[in-house]
């Protein structure tokens, strides 16, 4: 700031001396070769005067300095205004050190050339996207086969091994991002932000909904409906086939010996997530949400708690809910990394309205809805707005929908037996098939033993062995004759 003000003061003094017609100063503006020493002394004098003037103004506290720049003006100190003048002005002549030398530009060109030489050349497909792909390097056997210095038998062996070996792809393999994009492009995508409202089929509606509660654009994200006794079908609206008709995902219950497991598949019937439900029984506990809370011992009894786990397609645990009491109004989901919970909250589900079990199926007023509200706290930082079945937010919303759907028929013991009949049917059918197979094998063995087929098969197999694999005939050696005398 100080240098800037000195420069302005210096320029002002130069203009003032030009206007006043100082002869010494006009002589100093002659060509540089004639009086360079005088010009240098004048510069130093002007800089010194400018600095002294700035120092004096700073001590007096005066900042009201005005300059007439760019035109020929005389400044009237008494009136504080600039007066016009017709006095001719001399142009400033630049000094020899005010211009860049040719050596500077030569050095700059050398630096730029060295930087350009060190920059690698981009691939041909980047320079020209329509150019053919770079061919793969030759295989070792192909190198041997094409080498003119190798003998004929070596080339022949190289040709044989080259024909038997696997060949590389003609073009570079696609990236994982491109494969994922092509995979998910075959199924619908849904659009929502950090909040979802999950409702059931009510008020003459046949399907439940996932609703984006944004007040600026409240809309249905997708629709869901029970697919069988224990499964759920998720679909998006289609202009051609109707609401919820385009398959988005399908949740199916798996047959297991213990626990309840559900497989979430996409529209191609490929499993992307697995949801597990666990039910815990506490023999003696009060009517509270946690054992840490104070309760009346006289009201203790059996209490049931639930917990949900979300696994990836490869079986890795990705998220889990807290251990919540049956009928709780809030469920929290935390992130799991390498089998351990990080404690990071990734979803919060809260009950909207005062209802239980099948209460959300009743038709209510719009100002008193009955639903589950789902919030994703870290949505803006880690997840995009568009979601597919691979998105963990879809898996979390599916788990909350499954929890609310199973609560409709959950018993007082915390168990939902909707799919129990199907599981028993599969189990009994499997046992029946095993019994039928055992009876068939037993019947075949008894028939073979009692009908004489065993001996016939034995003779037939021996004859076939003699015809296909004949034995070498025996050669009898004559006994040696020992000489006698």
pLDDT at 287 (0 to 100): 75
Q: Contact at 8 Å (CB) between 208 and 400? A: no
In the three-class reduction of DSSP (H, G, I as helix; E, B as strand; rest coil), residue 115 is classed as helix
Q: Contact at 8 Å (CB) between 434 and 289? A: no
pLDDT over 50 (residue 50): yes
At 222-246, the pLDDT tens digits run: 999 998 767 899 999 998 899 999 9
Beta bridge partners of 280: 305
Q: Which position has the higher pLDDT, 7 or 273?
A: 273
Q: Contact at 8 Å (CB) between 349 and 376? A: no
**Domain spans, the chain:** 2-93, 138-171, 188-288+299-418
Confidence of residue 374 (pLDDT cuts 50, 70, 90): very high
At 149-192, the pLDDT tens digits run: 889 889 899 889 888 888 877 677 778 877 877 888 889 999 99
In the three-class reduction of DSSP (H, G, I as helix; E, B as strand; rest coil), residue 268 is classed as coil
pLDDT at 320 (0 to 100): 96
Q: Give the range with max mean pLDDT: 176-180, 297-301, 466-470.
A: 466-470
Q: What are phi and psi of 259, to 5 degrees?
A: 75, 180
Indicate the DSSP class of residue 257.
Answer: S
What is the separation of C-alpha 317 from the centre of its chain, rounded to a whole number of angstroms?
Answer: 17
CA-based end-to-end distance of the chain? 143
Q: Which position has the higher pLDDT, 426 or 423?
A: 426
Confidence of residue 336 (pLDDT cuts 50, 70, 90): very high
Q: What are phi and psi of 3, to 5 degrees?
A: -65, -40
Q: How far are the Cα atoms of 132, 179, 264, 357, 401 from residue 270, in angstroms, in the given order?
A: 35, 15, 8, 32, 20
Which residue, among 260, 259, 253, has the nearest Cα to 230 in the 3D structure? 253
Q: Which position has the higher pLDDT, 86 or 207?
A: 207
pLDDT at 112 (0 to 100): 83
pLDDT at 145 (0 to 100): 86
pLDDT over 50 (residue 74): no
pLDDT at 65 (0 to 100): 42
Q: Which position has the higher pLDDT, 13 or 403?
A: 403
User: Looking at residues 14-31, what average pLDDT do you find?
Assistant: 53
pLDDT at 68 (0 to 100): 40
């Amino acid at each position: 700031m100080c240098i800037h003000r000195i420069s302005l003061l210096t320029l002002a003094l130069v203009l003032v001396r030009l206007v006043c017609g100082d002869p010494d100063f006009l002589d100093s503006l002659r060509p540089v070769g004639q009086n360079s020493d005088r010009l240098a002394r004048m510069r130093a004098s002007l800089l010194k005067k400018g600095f002294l003037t700035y120092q004096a103004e700073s001590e007096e506290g005066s900042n009201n300095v005005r300059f007439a720049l760019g035109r020929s003006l005389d400044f009237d100190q008494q009136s504080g205004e600039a007066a016009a003048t017709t006095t001719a002005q001399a142009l400033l002549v630049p000094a020899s050190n005010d211009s860049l030398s040719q050596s500077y530009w030569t050095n700059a060109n050398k630096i730029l050339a060295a930087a350009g030489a060190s920059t690698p050349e981009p691939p041909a497909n980047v320079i020209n996207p329509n150019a053919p792909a770079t061919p793969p390097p030759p295989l070792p056997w192909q190198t041997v086969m094409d080498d003119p210095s190798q003998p004929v038998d070596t080339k022949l062996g190289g040709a044989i091994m080259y024909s038997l070996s696997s060949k590389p792809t003609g073009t570079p393999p696609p990236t994982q991002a491109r494969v994922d994009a092509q995979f998910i492009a075959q199924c619908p995508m849904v659009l929502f932000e950090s909040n979802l409202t999950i409702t059931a089929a009510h008020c003459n509606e046949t399907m439940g909904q996932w609703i984006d509660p944004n007040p600026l654009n409240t809309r249905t994200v997708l629709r869901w409906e029970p697919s069988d006794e224990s499964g759920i079908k998720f679909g998006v609206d289609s202009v051609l086939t109707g609401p919820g008709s385009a398959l988005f995902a399908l949740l199916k219950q798996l047959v297991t010996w213990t626990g309840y497991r559900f497989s979430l598949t996409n529209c191609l019937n490929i499993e992307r997530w697995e949801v597990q439900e666990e039910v815990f029984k506490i023999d003696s506990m009060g009517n509270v949400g946690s054992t840490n809370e104070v309760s009346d011992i006289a009201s203790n009894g059996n209490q049931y708690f639930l917990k949900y786990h979300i696994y990836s397609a490869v079986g890795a645990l990705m998220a889990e809910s807290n251990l919540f009491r049956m009928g709780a109004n809030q469920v929290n989901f935390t992130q799991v990394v390498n089998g351990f919970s990080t404690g990071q909250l990734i979803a919060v589900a809260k009950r909207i309205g005062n209802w239980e079990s099948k209460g959300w199926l009743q038709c209510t007023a719009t100002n008193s809805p009955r639903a589950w509200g789902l919030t994703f706290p870290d949505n803006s930082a880690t997840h995009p707005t568009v979601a597919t079945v691979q998105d963990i937010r879809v898996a979390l919303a599916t788990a909350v929908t499954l929890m609310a759907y199973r609560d409709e028929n959950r018993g007082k013991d915390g168990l939902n037996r909707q799919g129990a009949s199907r599981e028993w049917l599969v189990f009994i059918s499997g046992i029946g098939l095993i019994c039928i197979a055992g009876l068939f094998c037993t019947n075949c063995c008894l028939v073979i033993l009692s009908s004489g087929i065993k001996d016939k098969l034995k003779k037939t197999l021996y004859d076939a062995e003699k015809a296909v694999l004949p034995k070498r005939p025996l050669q009898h050696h004559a006994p040696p004759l020992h000489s006698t005398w």
